[in-house]
Amino acid sequence: MRGVVARRGRLVVEDLAEPTPEPGDALVALRACGICGSDLHTLAHADALPAVAVAMDMPNRFRPDEDFYLDHEWVGEVLELGADTAGVAPGDRVVSVPYLVRGVALEALGFSNEYYAGFCERFLLSAALCLKVPNGLDDTRAALTEPLAVALHAVNEARLDPGDAAAVIGCGPIGLALIVWLRARGVEPIVASDLSLGRRAAAAALGAHVVHDPLEEPAPVAAARATGGRPVVVFEAVGVPGMLDDLITTVPPRTRVVVTGVCMQPDILRPLLAVVKEVSLQFVYAYTPDEFAAALRALAAGELDVAPLVTGRVGFDGTAEAFERLGRAERHVKVLVTPDGPGHLSA
């Protein structure tokens, strides 16, 4: 079978050995997977992952200098089950939280040297963690379950008060998914800021009331103007060094900033400035199993308009090009990888 291998900062397509399901496993065939911003960050800054594990006094099995397998936003079709495995059946389309149960340990799929993930034709999932994709929900929308769950968790953790407005800084996949949930909850106005004209257009299509070019003025200034001075909760969805200090500098005093962007590089900010302005920084990570299931249910029920999120498709041979294009953040937002996709990303 074929798959994409991350190797010392590059992506290469190779023939891989077939995986064999163990008890509790479901062997699945990839139908579609989305390229995540954290995939781009991990390819460039994989050395950061072991350092975080050490700092948290957690076991670390990830070796960034060896081959590893990326992607954790998939929908697959069950092909075969390991012995004594129930819960799903061959032919089921499934999504899953990206972990593989191995004894008492959880292997993080998409960040593993040993186990294949979404950029491979076939890979293993833990059947107990799989959710069946409801009939009528196509692969394109089902593959958005994971990023929508990330955004749902961020919105839940923000604990917006009635009357709060929202500013989303960065309109990549997570920023746009935040807009989807904020609009579904009736938050108004939603101010969306991004350097890319194409991504600003996607933000407007998904329900942002105001779209903003940060080169014209700081996004918090534009948000304050749009809200007439009402409280604005700022969602940071960029994840690059300097972004947090820039927000601390430009937000009004007592602003809440919810950090969803995954910056994997060291950063510098000025605590005194944040202290004097009484800025609240809240960092959020991933989601709960209930939030993952809620995202799938909302997609299946047609409650979320997500069509503008997906802007392109590629096969394995086009994945490296798609990474490069997404890193430039021109018009593409969410690119889906499929085994039979084209070798090049459309303009």
Poorest-confidence range of 103-117, 216-230, 281-295, 311-325?
Answer: 216-230
**Looking at residue 140, what is its pLDDT?**
96
Residue 134 CB neighbours (<10 A): 13
Mean per-residue pLDDT, 181-189: 95
Do domains 2-144+306-337 and 147-283 share one topology? The answer is no
Opening angle at CA 40, ends 284 and 336, nearest 5: 95
Query: Which pLDDT tens digit goes with each residue over 149-180?
Result: 999 999 999 999 998 999 999 999 999 999 99
Q: pTM of this prediction?
A: 0.95
CATH classification code of 147-283 = 3.40.50.720
**Looking at residue 240, what is its pLDDT?**
93
Chain mean pLDDT for the chain: 94
Query: Which pLDDT tens digit goes with each residue over 91-113?
Result: 999 999 999 999 888 999 999 99
Q: What are phi and psi of 64, to 5 degrees?
A: -65, -20
Q: Beta 310-314 vs 334-337: how paired, if at all?
A: parallel
Answer whether residue 330 shows pLDDT above 80.
no
**Looking at residue 33, what is its pLDDT?**
97
* Residue 114 CB partners (closer than 8 Å, separation 6+): 61, 107
List the chain domain ranges: 2-144+306-337, 147-283
Handedness of CA 6, 93, 297, 199 (dihedral sign): positive
**Looking at residue 214, what is its pLDDT?**
92
Query: Which pLDDT tens digit goes with each residue over 52-64?
Result: 888 888 777 889 9
**Looking at residue 346, what is its pLDDT?**
75
CATH classification code of 2-144+306-337 = 3.90.180.10
Answer whether residue 304 shows pLDDT above 70.
yes
Res. 347 pLDDT band, cuts 50 70 90: low
Mean per-residue pLDDT, 254-272: 94
Answer whether residue 35 shows pLDDT above 70.
yes
Percent of the chain with pLDDT over 70: 100
Answer whether residue 287 shows pLDDT above 70.
yes
The 3-state secondary structure of the chain reads: CEEEEEECCEEEEEECCCCCCCCCEEEEEEEEEECCHHHHHHHHHCCHHHHHHHHCCCCCCCCCCCCEEECCCEEEEEEEECCCCCCCCCCCEEEECCEEEECCEEEECCEECCCCCCCECEEEEEHHHEEECCCCCCHHHHCCHHHHHHHHHHHHHHCCCCCCEEEEECCCHHHHHHHHHHHHCCCCCEEEECCCHHHHHHHHHHCCCEEECCCCCCHHHHHHHHHCCCCEEEEECCCCCCHHHHHHHHCCCCCEEEECCCCCCCCCCCHHHHHHHCCEEEECCCCCHHHHHHHHHHHHCCCCCCHHHEEEEECHHHHHHHHHHHHHCCCCCEEEECCCCCCCCCC
